[in-house]
Chains A and B, each alone.
Chain A
């Protein structure tokens, strides 16, 4: 795994915008640095990609086992999952409705096994960048090289496989009006359309509940039969509409059981179930326990985008602000992120469905020990 510098394409801003990446940095990141950063790239060996792929597949299998343990041992209160969500989780786990995607964030330096930092199982973004933008970058810059990336083809194929399970041939998409969420949803709409579905999208505040028909409706009062929501389950179940979810027929993508896996407590369940596994970091819920003797990281159970994270490492503390943490924290053994040119890097490894294995990856980097939603996306090649 190497970081190499390269001159950006002359018109890169126009190029990535034409590919749908409407937010690529500059003023958007606050300090003028780009979010999409093609002044460098990461080069992996085929063996390293194999290792990342195998680790991702293994982690996905282990997460399913860990999810079963959460249900069997009813660990909901420990996770901070409200009562109203429990039947939604258990019913969706039993019925196995379609599950589209997830992103494992891994610490990897090319020498030691990849370590799971967290699993964005419910509402992962940086998808367009990983699936499309870095692929076209590769075609422009290194057309003879390869990239660990079959995300787009796998998404289209998976939507087609969903057809008998989804309710009808129209899929609604909803999210906040955040620009990153918007282009992620637009991209997923595109993949669903390529699979033969009709789609429409709207801001989640426009979603309605029809009291007469007992169903969720879109802004035109059309029933939501199948709905992709880029909106976290832990938010949905704490809002007014939560009371209606169980009585509606809407099939939600991602399903409610993803609420268990996107909660950082799953990292502790994984460690409890597979102690010492090479792809896991020792993690505990609420109390750091033996981690106090060394370097460790504290994260909110429902934390997002690197907020409210505190790192205790090498005799110093680094922390980020935010509004999370009321629900409690998990404590995870610290692992040093690989550093290249003063930049620390994280691998985002994608699962598309659960049957075909890992589908590709993206690399994010930054100067801090804690990477968040403004960390830069840097393309990669291998082989």
Chain B
């Protein structure tokens, strides 16, 4: 059975430096990975951090960054906790790569809804 271990927190890596010396954490870096922010970053070729835009070219798609993160933590790598709000888009701004889609949105036309939930209808719910 699972024997979970506590995550050790340390301030490391995932840092980007802007031209004026600001420091920003890449949401796709294994040490600072955040799934929603990373999806956004991959699809827009960059990310906001602390309200500033940091352009970045991502190669391989979101899942490769996720896999990198997953391997990293399973291997005992340390993570740095970053408040998700740091990667939030400032009010009134648009993403750097010009996309206006929602955060991490996938292409809507290929999505089937209602693939689950049919058994639950008419019952008192899924809890017991």
Report the interface size class on chain A.
Answer: 35 or more
Binding stretch for chain A, among B14-22, B45-53, B100-108: B100-108
For B35, what are the chain A residues with a Cβ–Cβ distance below 8 Å?
167-170, 223, 225
Chain A neighbourhood of B118, CB < 8 A: 239-240
Write the nearest CB–CB distance from A50 to chain B, whole angstroms: 23
CA A42 – CA B102 in complex, angstroms? 51
Question: A205-B116, A208-B113, A212-B107 in contact; A161/B124 too (CB < 8 A)?
Answer: no
The interface on chain B, measured as residues whose beta carbon lies within 8 A of the other chain's beta carbons, has a size of 48
Query: Is A175 a contact of B126 with CB atoms below 8 Å?
Result: yes
B111 CB–A CB distance under 8 Å: yes
Q: In the complex, are the beta carbons of A167 and B4 less than 8 A apart?
A: no
- Residues of A within 8 Å of B34, CB to CB, are 168-170
Q: Which residues of A contact B120 (CB under 8 A)?
A: 176, 178, 204-205, 231, 235
Q: Residue on A with the closest CB to B75?
A: A164
**Which chain A residues have a beta carbon within 8 Å of chain B's beta carbons?**
64, 96-99, 120, 122-125, 158, 160-165, 167-170, 175-176, 178, 180-181, 184, 196, 198, 203-213, 215, 217, 220-223, 225, 229-232, 235-236, 238-241, 244, 249, 262, 304-305, 323, 353-355, 373
| B81: nearest chain-A partner, CB-CB | A196
B65 shortest CB reach to chain A, Å: 10
Which of A96, A213, A220, A373 makes the CB contact (< 8 A) with B102? A220
Q: Which 8 A-B pairs have the closest CB atoms?
A: A168-B35, A178-B125, A241-B115, A125-B127, A205-B117, A235-B119, A161-B4, A164-B73
Given A96-B2, A175-B126, are A225 and B112 also a contact pair (CB < 8 Å)?
A: no
- B4 and A353 contact, CB distance less than 8 A: yes
Indicate if the CB atoms of A235 and B126 lie closer than 8 Å: yes
Minimum CB–CB distance from A4 to chain B (whole Å) comes to 28
Digit string of B77-111 for contact with A (CB within 8 Å is 1, else 0)? 00101001000000000000000001111111011
Q: Distance in Å from the Cβ of A209 to the closest Cβ of chain B?
A: 5
Q: Are B128 and A120 in contact (CB under 8 A)?
A: yes
A211 to B119, CA, bound (A): 23
Cα distance, A198 to B5, chains bound together (Å)? 21
Bound together, the chains give a CA A125 to CA B128 distance in angstroms of 5
Residue of A nearest to B112 (CB): A209
* Chain B positions near chain A (C-beta within 8 angstroms): 1-7, 33-36, 38-39, 62-63, 66, 69-70, 73-74, 79, 81, 84, 102-108, 110-121, 123-128
The residue in chain A whose Cβ has the minimal distance to the Cβ of B8 is: A164
Nearest CB of B to A185, in Å: 9
- A212-B110, A244-B115 as given contacts; A232 in contact with B124, CB under 8 Å: no
Closest partner residue, chain B, to A184 (CB atom): B127
Give the residue of B33, B63, B110, B117 whose beta carbon is less than 8 angstroms from that of A204: B117
Q: A169-B84, A181-B126, A222-B105 are in contact. Are A354 and B113 (CB under 8 A)?
A: no
Contact between A239 and B125 (Cβ–Cβ < 8 Å)? no
Chain A residues with CB below 8 A from B38, complex form: 168
With A160-B7, A240-B118 in contact, is A221–B106 under 8 Å at CB? Answer: yes
Q: Using CB atoms, name the residue of chain B closest to A304.
A: B128
Closest to A322 in B: B123
What separation, in Å, do the CA atoms of A207 and B111 have in the docked complex? 10
Query: Closest chain A residue to B117 by CB distance?
Result: A205
CA distance A178 to B69 in the complex (A): 36
Contacts of A215 in B (CB 8 A): 106
Give the complex CA separation of A222 and B105 in angstroms.
5
Q: For A64, what are the chain B residues with a Cβ–Cβ distance below 8 Å?
A: 1
Closest to A205 in B: B117
**Cα(A230)–Cα(B120), bound, Å:** 11
Tell me, in angstroms, the Cα distance from A379 to B62 when the chains sit together: 48
Q: Which residues of chain B are near A209, meaning CB under 8 Å?
A: 111-112, 115
B103, B107, B124, B127: the one contacting A222 at CB < 8 Å is B103
Does B124 lie within 8 Å of A96, measured CB to CB? no
Given contacts A225-B66, A244-B115, contact A212 B106 (CB under 8 A): yes
